[in-house]
């Protein structure tokens, strides 16, 4: 019997997520390929960031089905992932239940970040993966401001971001003032940012070839990031067009 026949026209979000999880289709568990859109260079760069920067906690916004979250779980450090879409949350919660170091939170990423970062962690290095932007929902400015005002030691990786000198990397553009570019970062009240882009050209990357950027405000972390060959630091005065 179909779920709609049981519940009528309205199917509770929890049931939608549960049903999609239970049917166990590969496309539901890996809707965009493997972790981080199947981009192996980005995955390896992230692995080096986590190890070299001695990351102690991972925060992710935009859990969706938990594909990347599951990859983060393998580092055996605390992972907090935030999802606003109830069916996706229910799916990911079930998928990630066996990982004791993972906590999936339901809610708007801005509100949840305010809650979990209300008590600054001092110098504890945190890796923050920002991927909650979707269609008309773009909380990135608020996310960045909360992170930069509450964490003393962090590395941020933003998915779907424009790589200025490589058009082969796709990025999100939601209209005027809502394109994920360096100009957007200029609108954020976050102070000076150290910026890093992928050094691997798009034609050598695998998977969806979505653009990304790495940010920090820490000079010491920036020095560490400079030792990672898969990252390319961009001097603000000489940024590519």
For helices 13-23 and 86-95, the axis angle rounded to 10 degrees is: 40
For the segment 6-25, the average pLDDT, to the nearest whole number, is: 74
pLDDT for the residue numbered 137: 77
Fold of 3-234: Rossmann fold (3.40.50)
Stronger pLDDT, 88 or 9, i.e. the higher one: 88
Which of 58-62, 113-117, 131-135, 144-148 is predicted least confidently?
A: 131-135
Q: What would you report as the CA-atom Rg of the chain, rounded to the nearest whole angstrom?
A: 18
177 pLDDT exceeds 90? no
Residue (of 51, 31, 42) closest to 157 by Cα position: 42
User: Residue 7 to residues 19, 47, 86: CA-CA distances in angstroms?
Assistant: 13, 44, 17
- Provide the 8-state DSSP code for 230: T
In this predicted structure, the answer to whether residue 241 has a pLDDT above a threshold of 50 is no
Q: Is the pLDDT of residue 118 over 90?
A: no
Cβ contacts of 93-102, under 8 Å, gap ≥ 24 = 93/17, 94/17, 94/18, 94/21, 95/21, 95/29, 95/65, 95/66, 95/70, 96/66, 96/69, 96/70, 99/70, 99/73, 101/73, 101/76, 101/77, 102/69, 102/72, 102/73
Beta bridge partners of 137: 134
Q: How far apart are CA 16 and CA 234, in angstroms?
A: 44
At 77-98, the pLDDT tens digits run: 999 999 999 999 999 999 999 9
Residue 176 has pLDDT above 90, yes or no: no
Instruction: Give the least confident one: 14-18, 52-56, 125-129.
Output: 14-18
Sequence ranges of the domains in the chain: 3-234
> In this predicted model, what pLDDT tens digit does every residue of 21-61 receive, in sequence order?
888 887 887 877 899 999 999 999 999 999 999 999 999 99
pLDDT at 9: 66
Instruction: Identify which of 109, 119, 74, 71 has the alpha carbon closest to the alpha carbon of residue 88.
Output: 109
What's this model's pTM, rounded to 2 decimal places?
Answer: 0.90
Task: For residues 186 and 15, give the distance between their C-alpha atoms in angstroms, rounded to a whole number.
Answer: 42
First to last CA, the chain: 56
How confident is the model over 197-219, as a mean pLDDT?
A: 97
Q: Could you tell me the CA-to-CA distances from 155 to 81, 115, 148, 197, 204 in Å, in that order?
A: 16, 19, 10, 13, 24
Say yes or no to pLDDT of 183 above 70: yes
Pairwise CA distance, residues 20 & 128, whole Å: 28
Contact residues for 148 (Cβ-Cβ < 8 A; gap 6+): 154, 190, 191, 217
H or E stretch including 5? helix 3-7
Q: Report percent pLDDT > 70 for the chain.
A: 90
Collapse the DSSP code of 195 into the 3-class scheme (helix H, G, I; strand E, B; otherwise coil) and give the result. strand
């Amino acid at each position: 019997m179909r779920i709609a026949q049981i519940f009528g026209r309205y199917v509770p979000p929890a049931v939608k997520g549960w049903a999609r999880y239970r049917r166990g289709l590969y496309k539901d568990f890996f809707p965009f390929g493997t972790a981080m859109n199947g981009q192996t260079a980005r995955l390896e760069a992230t692995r080096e960031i986590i190890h070299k920067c001695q990351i102690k906690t991972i925060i992710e916004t935009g859990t969706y089905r938990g594909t990347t979250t599951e990859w983060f779980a393998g580092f055996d450090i605390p992972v907090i992932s935030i999802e606003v879409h109830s069916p996706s949350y229910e799916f990911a919660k079930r998928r990630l239940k066996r990982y004791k170091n993972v906590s999936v939170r339901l809610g708007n990423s801005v509100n949840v970040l305010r809650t979990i970062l209300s008590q600054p962690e001092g110098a504890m290095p945190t890796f923050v993966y920002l991927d909650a932007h979707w269609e008309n929902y773009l909380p990135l400015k608020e996310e960045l401001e909360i992170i930069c005002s509450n964490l003393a030691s962090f590395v941020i990786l933003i998915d779907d971001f424009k790589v200025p000198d490589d058009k082969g990397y796709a990025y999100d553009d939601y209209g005027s003032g809502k394109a994920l570019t360096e100009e957007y970062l200029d609108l954020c009240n976050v102070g000076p940012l150290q910026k890093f882009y992928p050094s691997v050209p798009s034609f050598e990357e695998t998977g969806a070839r979505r653009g990304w950027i790495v940010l920090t405000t820490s000079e010491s972390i920036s020095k560490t990031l400079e030792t990672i060959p898969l990252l390319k630091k961009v001097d603000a005065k000489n940024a590519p067009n």
